[in-house]
Amino acid sequence: MKILYIYAQQEPTSFNAALKNTALYALKEKGHEVKLSDLYAMNFNPVLTEEDFTKRKKPDVFKPFLEAINAVKTGAFAPDILAEMEKVKWADLLIFQFPIYFTSMPAIMKGWIDRVLAPGFGFNPITNSAYETGLLKGKSAMIVTTTGASKEWYSEGGEHGDLNKHLESVTHCVFEYMGMQALPSHIIYEVSRISREKGDEELEKYRKRLLEL
């Protein structure tokens, strides 16, 4: 299987970094082909601007939706976007790993989604049934994430509410909207207080999850 691992965490000695390294080793050990987009290391620009398009359809007014549709036809995306699109086209599975920021993903990863999974590339912009005609059909996607707060806080009735429901803005409204199968999210709670022993247990649990893909 071909796997694109999209990763957003700044600190190379963090628990998230250990998760990512565990994943890359396990996936390659299993014989999968893996490509990594380490967004902070790449200094990936998350901001969608006019510079995203090398040739404009409407130079007088900036309409990113229309420019993206035109760029899909003409190849007029900026080089960094095209490079990530090629990785997406290559992959069978996309794994998005990030720590939770305010019940969602870091801005740099949201920006990757905004810029790379563009209309005409990730989803069909000219249909009323986009969920049935998503342009990434046949692929799968999965979220791997960590929280600072406890599982109780992120459960139904907890202070923050059910984290899986928060993540539906991605698992349903992005992954499934684009035709991908959304695999169950892998969530590790309260890593801000995790012990080394518990951390090792969680790394092993994640490794086994990936080996079962």
Q: Which residue has the tokens 């200094």?
A: 43
State the catalytic residue, choosing from 160, 161, 166, 199. 160
9 vs 193: CA distance, rounded Å: 18
114: its two tokens: 């905004």
CA–CA dist 105, 16 (Å, integer): 13
Q: Which of 5, 111, 134, 154 is catalytic?
A: 154
131 is catalytic: no
Q: Distance between CA 210 and CA 3 in Å, rounded?
A: 11
Closest CA to 183 of 209, 163, 208, 155: 209
Q: How many residues does the chain have?
A: 213
Q: Which of 25, 101, 148, 172 is catalytic?
A: 148
Torsion angle defined by CA atoms of residues 177, 180, 181 and 185, in that order, rounded to the nearest 10 degrees:
-80
Active site residue 158: no
Token pair of 166, please?
A: 């928060």
Is 154 annotated in the active site?
A: yes
List 82's β-bridge partners, or say none: none
Q: Token pair for residue 199?
A: 């951390």
Q: Which residues are marked as active site?
A: 148, 154, 160
